[in-house]
Amino acid sequence: MSEAIRRKSLDELDIITARRYGEEDYPHAEWTRLRQESPVHRFEPEGYAPFWAVTRHADIIEVSKQPELYRSAGRFILVPRPPELAAASGDGLTEDPPLRMLVNMDPPEHRDYRRLVSAWFTPRAIARLESRLHEITTEVFDTWARDGDEVECDLVNDIAAIQPLRMITEILGIPREQEDFVMRVTQENFGIEDPELQRDDESTDGRLGFLTEAFAYLDEITSDRRKNPRDDLSTVLACATLDGEPVPTFELFSLYFLIMVAGHDTTRNAISGGVRALVEHPEEFKKLQTNPGLVATAADEIVRWTTPVNHFSRTATEDTELHGARIQKGDSVGLFYASANRDEDVFDDPFAFRIDRQPNPHLGFGIGEHFCLGASLARMDLRIFFEHFAKRVESIEPTGPLELSHASFVGGPKRMPVRIRIRPH
Ligand code: HEM
Write out pLDDT tens, residues 75-104. Answer: 999 999 876 666 666 677 777 789 999 999
Q: Which residues pair with 70 in a beta bridge?
A: 316
Distance CA 382, CA 171 (A): 17
- Give CA 405 to chain center in angstroms: 12
pTM to 2 decimal places? 0.96
Rounded distance between C-alpha atoms, residue 359 and residue 98, angstroms: 39
Nearest CA residue ID for atom 1, ligand 1: 267
CA 208 to mean position of chain CA atoms: 19
What pLDDT score does 177 carry?
Answer: 97
CB atoms within 10 A of CB 200: 10
If DSSP codes are grouped into helix, strand and coil, which group holds residue 225?
helix
Q: Is the C-beta atom of 190 inside 6 A of ligand 1?
A: no
- Is residue 125 lining ligand 1, measured as CB closer than 6 Å? no
Provide mean pLDDT across the span 265-281. 98
CB 411 less than 6 A from any atom of ligand 1 = no
**pLDDT for position 286:** 98
Average pLDDT over residues 258-280: 97
CA distance 203 to 183: 19
C-alpha distances in angstroms, 112 versus 107, 109, 268? 8, 5, 29
Neighbour-count burial for 36-65, b at 16+ CB within 10 Å, e otherwise: eebbbbbbebeebbebbbbbbbebbbbbbe
Query: Each residue of 335-349: pLDDT tens digit?
Result: 999 999 999 999 999
> Where is 112: in which H helix or E strand?
helix 109-117
- Give me the half-sphere count of Cα atoms (radius 13 Å) on the Cβ side of residue 191: 22
Q: How does DSSP assign 27-67, residue by residue?
A: -HHHHHHHHHH-SEEEE--TTS--EEEE-SHHHHHHHHT-T
**Pair 207, 192: CB distance under 8 Å:** yes
- pLDDT the model gives residue 350: 98
Q: What pLDDT sits at residue 193? A: 85
Cβ(113) – ligand 1 distance below 6 Å: no
Q: Is the CB of 259 under 6 A from ligand 1?
A: yes
More confident residue, 193 or 165: 165
Residue 418 is inside which H or E element, if any? strand 417-422
Given this model, what pLDDT does residue 204 score? Answer: 60
pLDDT tier, 199 (very low <50, low <70, confident <90, very high otherwise): confident
Residues 55-67 pLDDT 10s: 999 999 999 999 9
**Closest ligand 1 atom to Cα of 378:** 27
DSSP 8-state code for residue 81:
P
CA distances in angstroms from 260 to 164, 256, 364, listed in the order given: 11, 6, 19
Position 46 confidence tier, pLDDT thresholds 50, 70, 90: very high
CA 409 to ligand 1 center in whole angstroms: 12
Residue 196 has pLDDT above 90, yes or no: no
Percent share of the chain, pLDDT over 70: 97
Q: Mean of the per-residue pLDDT values for the chain? A: 94
Ligand 1 atom 41: residue of nearest CA: 370
395 CA to centre of ligand 1 in angstroms: 32
Nearest to 350 by CA among 14, 29, 20, 52: 29
Cβ(363)–Cβ(65) below 8 Å:
no
Q: Which candidate, 271, 269, 301, places its Cα nearest to that of 284?
A: 301
Does 221 contact ligand 1 (Cβ within 6 A)?
no
**What is the C-alpha to C-alpha distance for residues 344 and 375, in angstroms, rounded to an integer?**
24
Q: Could you tell which of 133, 251, 339, 372 is best to mutate to test the pocket of ligand 1, judged by most ligand atoms within 8 Å of the CB?
A: 372
Side chain identity at residue 295, one-letter code: V
**pLDDT number for residue 209:** 82
Residues 6+ apart with CB under 8 A from 248: none
* Ligand 1 site, residue 266, Cβ cutoff 6 A: yes
- Is the beta carbon of 334 within 6 A of some atom in ligand 1? no
- Phi, psi angles (nearest 5°) of residue 397: -145, 150
Q: What is the dihedral of CA 82, 87, 92, 94, to 10 degrees?
A: 160
Q: What order do you get walking across the sheet with 51-54 strand by strand?
A: 40-43, 51-54, 332-336, 311-316, 70-71
Q: In this structure, is the dihedral angle defined by the CA atoms of residues 196, 197, 202 and 208, taken in order, positive or negative? A: negative
Rg (CA), the chain: 21
**Which neighbouring-strand residues pair with 395?**
421
Question: Higher model confidence: residue 266 or residue 201?
Answer: 266
Pocket of ligand 1 contains residue 103 by CB under 6 Å: yes
Per-residue pLDDT tens digits for 33-45:
999 999 999 999 9
Nearest 5°: the CA angle 58, 61, 67 is 150
Q: Is the pLDDT of residue 144 over 70?
A: yes
- The pLDDT score that the predictor gives to residue 263 is 92
Element (H, E) at 325: strand 325-327
- Ligand 1: distance of its center to the CA of 55 in Å? 19
Q: Is 258 in the pocket of ligand 1 (CB under 6 A)?
A: yes
CB of 63 closer than 6 A to ligand 1? no
Low-confidence winner among 106-110, 146-150, 354-358 (lowest mean pLDDT): 146-150
User: Phi then psi for 405, rounded to 5 degrees?
Assistant: -70, 145
Q: Is the CB of 167 under 6 A from ligand 1?
A: no
Q: Check pLDDT > 70 for residue 31.
A: yes
pLDDT category at 203 given cuts 50, 70, 90 is low
Q: What is the pLDDT of residue 89?
A: 64
pLDDT (0 to 100) of residue 202: 61
Coil, helix or strand for 346? coil
d(CA 6, CA 2): 6
